[in-house]
Structure 1
Amino acid sequence: MAKVYIIHENEEWTQPLKAALDEISVPYEDWHMNEGMVDLQQKPPEGIFYNRMSASSHTRGHRYAPELTATVLTWLESHGRTVLNTSEALALELSKVLQYEKLKQFGIKTPDTIAAVGEHHLIQAAKSFPTPFITKHNRAGKGLGVKRFDDAKSLEHHVTSGFDESVDGITLLQQYVDSPTKTITRCEFIGGKFLYAVRVDTSDGFELCPAEACEIGDLACPTTSSPRPKFEIIEDFNSPLIKKYEAFLQANGITFAGIEFIEDKDGTAYTYDVNTNTNYNPQAESKAGIYGMKEIASYLKKELHALQPVTPL
């Protein structure tokens, strides 16, 4: 019997999806990618294969999970299996450089960025880069490695004191975009189509994973007199970016994703992250009455039914 295969490396993030699939009686199998093997002489099983691999897997001790996932996806795709979030999507998940270059092809503005390998090159790049600026990891998640610097000298001190490098060795030097509201916007897409946008408070920093398992403190910002939610779904959100994002997703084999942008004081939007292992904040969804994982489960059910031949009466 064909089923849904969940390709991932984080059990906590996957539990809400499993619960949603159970609720509507969708058969599934868990493929955890921390370790394993692929027999290239064998054909894959029939089914729908949902890739939820994360760029931050190395922070959970799963250093080679993306590489194993790339192997599995290549195998599946070579046999014509239906993969949702394809090997192209995985490549984008693992490289912000690739994300930015692909986004630009659709007229989507990204922050000015320099990619550097080696302390010397990073320091040299900072000396001529407009200030303030930030550093970030090319392969990361949840805002790992994001740090603001007001001048090249402070970056040099940070780097020479021993800094946390990206797992792929590529550090990004990037334009700092100052949001007057101290928020970013994350647009969620299911089946390549816009579902909703969520406003995220960045007052406490950039660990922005919306999943309940990622919460590291009070959901309300403690620096305001009237605390606001960390995550809040925006009612009736509309933006010309939506159509551009949808075209970008379709062209790059991405079925499910969250795309983040930030606006400066002039209202210019800079898109800076594409997350193909999207999670949802339960408090924000409960308040708005819309549930991303349930929508994904319904989409997977539809895809599974389309795969199975209809028995004639």
Structure 2
Amino acid sequence: MSGSVYVIHENPQWLPPFQAAFEAEGVPLEEWLLTDGSIDLSVEPPEGVFWSRLSASAHTRDHAASKEYGRAVLRWLASWGRTVVNGADVLELEVSKVAQHAALRHAGVEVPRTTAVFGTAQLAAKAEEFEAPFISKHNQGGKGLGVRRWESHAEFAAWVDSADFEPSPDGITLLQELLVARAPFITRAEFVGGQFVYAVRVDTSAGSFELCPAEACAIPGADGVEPEPLFRLRDDVDPAIIDRYLAFLAAEGIGVAGIEFIETRDGRVVTYDVNTNTNYNPDVEASAPRSGPREIARWLGALLPHEAVGARG
């Protein structure tokens, strides 16, 4: 029996590093672009391994329907017994921070104090329950979009009532305690196939919440020269944290993910995001002992029938 690895996604700009990695590993890769199309539910899918890279930020690329398209495709694939990596249940975690929060807390991982508000009628009142400054964010986010810091409740209430208010795509706004880092960085730990790959130190000294690591997200400096890298390899993460994340990923059936946490000024280690369509920063990849995309290619290739995988370089 033969087959390919099918990558299910909606953003071709993120794919080149993975295409190069699969080619280098001799693993056949085919795209399923879920921006529009159809499914004949009575037809059996092709043989192979199906890897979902569907993103919570698809709506920012005019692909809001990809979430529902993906839900349908992933359930269809599972119904035929196909091997699906980061399948339908994992997609629900990708597109809902409420779901992430609940799953992490259930696994014994510390998460920020958070209130989910449905609609806008209670937003200002619920914000009063948080000491200022505090954070608001979209339940369906991605790339840090929609995250705002508020210095006062009055400022937040005025924004909610204004034409500038930006709702989450699913209508759920999260109110969250402001986490103050012990040092100006957060950490993102990368995992593939039940294995820890590496951790990344992400500089937050500029105060931005938009921390997409992909080369496609890079923004040049004001003078046109690339700034110093915001993303650097980190090799001193507590192994107990990594073990806790590995147990969480196994329990939730997550094959590929980046998990972000912050070490706070008051001594807490707080996890605030699980990204199941993780991208890899080229500066980190250049210095890392193992490559994230190459690890994915090797792992998914090993899930294919042996004759589907060619010679590896």
Q: Do the aligned residues in 1 keep the contact of 2:4 with 2:308 (CA within 8 Å)? A: no
> Do structure 1's residue 215 and structure 2's residue 218 form an aligned pair?
yes
C-alpha distance 274-306 of structure 1, shift in aligned 2 (>3 A): farther
Distance 2:48 2:102 in 1: 32
Distance 1:307 1:242 in 2: 34
Q: CA deviation at 1:218?
A: 4.1
Map of 1:200 onto structure 2: 202
Q: Do the aligned residues in 2 keep the contact of 1:47 with 1:307 (CA within 8 Å)? A: no
| Identity among equivalent pairs (%) | 49
Distance 1:266 1:240 in 2: 19
Give runs of aligned pairs for residues 84-123 of structure 1, distance below 5 A: 84-123=85-124
Q: CA deviation at 1:308?
A: 6.4
Write the letter of the residue equivalent to 1:210: P
Write the letter of the residue equivalent to 1:269: V
Map of 2:290 onto structure 1: 290
C-alpha distance 52-127 of structure 1, shift in aligned 2 (>3 A): same
Query: Which has the larger displacement, 56-65 or 288-297?
Result: 288-297
Distance 1:31 1:15 in 2: 14
Please, what TM-score do these two structures have when normalized by structure 1?
0.92
Map of 2:32 onto structure 1: 31
Write the letter of the residue equivalent to 2:274: V
Distance 1:284 1:218 in 2: 19
> Do structure 1's residue 188 and structure 2's residue 155 form an aligned pair?
no
Distance 1:127 1:214 in 2: 35
Map of 2:141 onto structure 1: 140
Give runs of aligned pairs for residues 1-313 of structure 1, distance below 5 A: 1-162=2-163, 163-204=165-206, 205-218=208-221, 229-305=229-305
Write the letter of the residue equivalent to 2:249: L
Q: Count residues in correspondence.
A: 303
Distance 1:216 1:56 in 2: 18
Residue segments in structure 1 that go unaligned for 5+ positions in a row: none
Distance 1:155 1:284 in 2: 37
Which of 1 and 2 has higher RCO (CA within 8 Å, sep 6+)?
2
Please, what TM-score do these two structures have when normalized by structure 2?
0.92
Distance 2:268 2:220 in 1: 31
Question: In structure 2, the residue corresponding to 1:37 is in which secondary structure?
Answer: coil
Write the letter of the residue equivalent to 2:174: L
CA displacement, residues 87-126 of structure 1 (integer Å, 9 cap, x when unaligned): 1110000100000001011110100001112222111101
Q: Do the aligned residues in 1 keep the contact of 2:262 with 2:269 (CA within 8 Å)? A: yes
Write the letter of the residue equivalent to 1:142: K
Residue segments in structure 2 that go unaligned for 5+ positions in a row: none
Question: In structure 1, the residue corresponding to 2:304 is in which secondary structure?
Answer: helix
Question: In structure 1, the residue corresponding to 2:239 is in which secondary structure?
Answer: coil
Q: Give the alignment's Cα RMSD to 1 decimal.
A: 1.9
CA displacement, residues 166-219 of structure 1 (integer Å, 9 cap, x when unaligned): 101101000100113221100000002211110101123011110000112349
Distance 2:182 2:124 in 1: 29
Write the letter of the residue equivalent to 2:112: P
Distance 1:197 1:28 in 2: 26
Q: Do the aligned residues in 2 keep the contact of 1:8 with 1:51 (CA within 8 Å)? A: yes
Question: In structure 2, the residue corresponding to 1:119 is in which secondary structure?
Answer: coil
